[in-house]
Amino acid sequence: MSIRLRLALQFGFILAVTLLLFALAIYVATKQSRRSLFTQTLFKRTLVVGHAYADGQDNAASADQQASYRRYLRQLYRTLPDEEGRVYDARNRLVFREGQGPTKPVPLAWLAKVRRSGKAVLETETNYHETVGLLYHDARLGPLVVVASSVDEDSRQQLAQLRELLAIGLLAALLVMAIGNWIFAGQALSPLRRMVHEVDGITATDLSQRLTQAEGSNDEIGRLAQRFNRLLDRLETSFVGQRTFVRDASHELRTPLTALIGELEVSLLQAERPPTEYRRVLQSTLDSAQQLNNLTNGLLQIARASDDPSQVPMAPVRLDELLLQAHEQILRRHSTCRVDLDFGEVDDARAFAVRGNEALILSAMLNVLDNACKFSACNNGTVTATLAHVGPRITLLVSDEGPGLNQDDLQHVFVPFFRAASVRTVPGHGIGLPLTARIMALHGGTVRVESEVGLGAQVWLEWPRKQFV
């Protein structure tokens, strides 16, 4: 069953039940109102019968009783259908009757009830027939019980017409409602049908298409289209980044492999070569293999840093201890580089404790320090690493005295395999800062780089203090 049909049926059912209950309420209220009005009319008739009987007893003439009774009836405009009037004296004897048809006996208990309460209804309205009784006081005749009964023929006809009118109106309303529900459900779901048609045209090879949105539409369907477009933006960015990464990684991997294969082919061109030449070839091959190994390790680290944070083991780590380890390893790599550490004045031994992955954070620190040492070596400069609390964050500032970067290059430093023109003579693959940025994002931190040409570069690694243990 389609959503359109289901919505139409659901709303149709709700409206049908509502209209049916409304029609029943109207009918019941009308019936109760007319019944109450008819009961009051019958009580007025009892007064007419009582007056007629008392007046007739005063005149002592049966013909006069009839004339007086009819005179009172004319005062109430007309005679009711199947109307009957009776009078019972103090001994509950029937002393007066006006009407047609057989007389139905009245229970003595009910007559006693009328005398106690002043008036009562003998039987509730059954087939629109009702009987009421009233205690009529006369100074000469004493307390009399006057009974009046009749058939509410007007209510029978008018309620029948009302039932017919309500039934026809309900059926007409259901028909109009069904057509309207079908049309309005189709209009409400038309954006979804358009979205389905547009989604069918989006493929993995072309993620540039987006779902169209009506101007000013801020309903659930409009927000769904917005969320889906944002999802497509993320997917497109991810796919483009993946294709760029694979292309650049293939290019970088091909360079050391080409050099390695070239050296080996050249070494095989001559049958006999001096030992020094073989040593040079082996050393060149080893250098290419080490370069290839470093590049492969960097790619694996980038893939690891891009994992789901819930899948990366986290534990309390000390940033000051990791910085000391990174300092020791950097000095082994760059024995001529001078790296100064500054931890400030901190009383608490766990002031620099955060929750994270020790290996990844150490790798991020090594990448930043390694870049600083490589670039500072060009000018025989000094690298400074400062670990401190700055507001709500823990920051590691690494400053170098290298050639620096221009503003255009700064916008691409986090793109994998990007290398600025001013530092392409320095060995590297352009994956250090991108890897560091992903590691910091995995830990809820950030990386920030500032630089000017000829004034070196400053790199900030920042962790939020809310991650303290």
Domains in the chain: ranges and CATH? 3-159 (3.30.450), 309-467 (3.30.565.10)
**Integer angstrom CA distances of residue 52 from 36, 100, 114, 455:** 25, 17, 20, 125
Average pLDDT over residues 346-363: 77
DSSP string, 67-126: HHHHHHHHHTSSPPTT-EEEEE-TT--EEEEEESSPPPPPPHHHHHHHHHHSEEEEEEEE
The yes-or-no verdict on residue 330 having pLDDT over 80 is: yes
The alpha carbon torsion through 430, 433, 438, 441 (nearest 10 deg) reads -160
Sequence length of the chain is 469
The yes-or-no verdict on residue 468 having pLDDT over 50 is: no
Give the H or E element holding residue 464.
strand 457-464
* Selected residue with higher pLDDT from 362 and 204: 362
Sequence-distant (6+) residues with CB within 8 A of 335 are none
Among 94, 105, 45, residue whose Cα is nearest residue 69: 45
- The pLDDT value recorded for residue 260 is 75
Give the H or E element holding residue 146.
strand 142-151
Give the pLDDT confidence of 274-300 residue by residue, as tens digits: 777 777 777 777 777 776 776 676 556
Return the ∠ at Cα 409 (arms to 408 and 415), rounded to 5°: 120
Residue in the structure block whose two tokens are 């980044």:
241
Give the pLDDT confidence of 123-137 residue by residue, as tens digits: 665 678 888 888 888
Give the H or E element holding residue 172.
helix 153-200
Average pLDDT over residues 377-390: 80
Give the pLDDT confidence of 87-114 residue by residue, as tens digits: 888 888 888 887 766 677 888 888 888 8
Give the pLDDT confidence of 413-447 residue by residue, as tens digits: 777 666 665 555 566 556 677 878 888 888 888 88
Percentage of residues of the chain with pLDDT beyond 90:
2
- The pLDDT value recorded for residue 428 is 58
Q: How far apart are the first and last CA of the chain?
A: 55
- In whole angstroms, give the CA distance from residue 364 to residue 45: 105
- In whole angstroms, give the CA distance from residue 442 to residue 465: 15
- The pLDDT value recorded for residue 270 is 67
DSSP string, 211-270: ----TT--SHHHHHHHHHHHHHHHHHHHHHHHHHHHHHHHHHHHHHHHHHHHHHHHHTTS
Q: How many CA atoms lie within 13 A of 226 on its CB side?
A: 10
- The pLDDT value recorded for residue 123 is 67
Sequence-distant (6+) residues with CB within 8 A of 191 are 214, 217, 221, 222, 225
Strand partners, 393: 390, 464
- Is the whole model's pTM more than 0.85, yes or no? no
Buried b (16+ CB within 10 A) or exposed e, 11-22: bbeebeeebeee
Range with the poorest average pLDDT among 31-35, 56-60, 192-196: 56-60
Amino acid, res. 295: L
